[in-house]
Amino acid sequence: MAVADLPKPGNDPHEQIVLTAVDEFLAWGKENSLFYLLFATACCGIELMQAGGPRYDVDRLGMIPRATPRQADLMIVAGTITHKMAGVVRTLWEQMTEPRWVVSMGSCANSGGPFSKWSYSVLNGVDKYVPVDVYIPGCPPRPEALIDGVMALRERVRRYRTMGVRDRDPHVVQGADCRFGSHPGKPEPQA
């Protein structure tokens, strides 16, 4: 039984004892304590810091930045990755202990971003070097978008089983429909 499907315990002692598989319990623990590797390269790194700051505060989701890959479950690749940096990203990813997940934050990490056409030194997407679980578009994505991507990742982490098959299909966070909005010059959405 999944943890979410369990009935809420009432006063009946028979309802107050919860039995579940150890694996599910561990996955629930992993999901709610994803320590992320503080890996900020460029502009998205500032939004990552703001996400860890007082207003958006990913700490309430259990996410704490760790400086060393040995203690991190999650690598949020935030920022442009150049060819010179790519080997370092791979090394850091290899130093992370299993189970590990990678979130590609921002257009540059997804596909090279604004530098993909004209730059000679930018890697067009970090997924050439590490397998990515969640792509978050944006330049830079708002902290809410980052949290949205992390929530999608948490669903995946909850399904993680020690002896199971790893879900490798990447999930792409759908951005807001930017054609409409309350910004000057943009049309109102047709009702």
Partner 1 sequence: MTIEAITLGGERMQLNMGPHHPATHGVLRIRVESDGEIVSSCIPDHGYLHRSIEKIGECIEWPMFVPYTDRVDYVCAMNANLAYCVAVEKLLNTDPATAVVVPRRAECIRVLVAELNRISSHLIAVGAMAMDVGAYTPFLHGIAQREHVNDIFEKLCGQRLTYNYVTVGGVAFDLHETASEEIASFLDQFEKEMVRFNKLITTNTIFRDRCANLAVVTAAEAIAWGLVGPNLRGSGVDWDLRRDEPYGLYGELGVRVPKGERYAGRKGAVGDCYDRYIVRLLEIQESVRLCREVLKLLPPAAAKANDPIGGHQADVSKVLKRPPKGFVHCRTEAPRGEMGYFLVSDGTKVPYRVRVRTGSFSAAGIFHKVMRGIFLADVVAVIGSFDVVVPEIDR
Partner 2 sequence: MNGMTFDAIAARITQVCEEAMVVRSENGQPFVRVPAAALPRVAALLRRDPALLCDALMDLTGYDRLKYPGNEASPANDAIAVVYLLFSQQHHHRVMLEVQAPRALCAVPTVSGLWPAALYFEREVFDLLGVQFVGHPSLERILCPDDWVGHPLRKDYLYPAQYHGVPHLREGQHFDGAPRRQGDPEPAPTPAPTKKGHP
In angstroms, the CA 117 to CA 110 distance is 14
In angstroms, the CA 75 to CA 151 distance is 15
Q: How far is the CB of 175 from partner 1 (least distance, A)?
A: 14
Dihedrals phi, psi of 73, to nearest 5 degrees: -95, -25
- 62 to 36, 92, 140: CA distances (angstroms): 10, 22, 23
Establish if 137 lies at the interface with partner 2 (CB under 8 A).
Answer: no
**∠ CA 94-95-98 to the nearest 5 degrees?**
80
Establish if 120 lies at the interface with partner 1 (CB under 8 A).
Answer: yes
In angstroms, the CA 172 to CA 62 distance is 22
Q: How far is the CB of 65 from partner 2 (least distance, A)?
A: 28
Q: Which of residues 133-162 bind partner 1 (CB under 8 A)?
A: 139-140, 142
Establish if 28 lies at the interface with partner 1 (CB under 8 A).
Answer: no
The site partner of 80 among partner 2, partner 1, none (C-beta below 5 to 8 Å per kind) is partner 1
Q: Which of residues 169-188 bind partner 1 (CB under 8 A)?
A: 183-185
What mask, x for binding partner 1 by CB under 8 A, covers residues 33 to 62? -----xxxxxx-xxx-xx--xxx-------
Q: How far is the CB of 79 from partner 2 (least distance, A)?
A: 17
- 63 to 25, 51, 96: CA distances (angstroms): 18, 10, 16
Dihedrals phi, psi of 37, to nearest 5 degrees: -75, 125
- State the residues that interact with partner 1 by CB under 8 A: 38-43, 45-47, 49-50, 53-55, 67-68, 79-80, 82, 84-85, 88, 92, 114-115, 118-122, 139-140, 142, 183-185
What is the contact surface with partner 2 in residues (CB under 8 A)?
A: 83-84, 86-87, 111-112, 116-118, 120-121, 123-125, 128-129
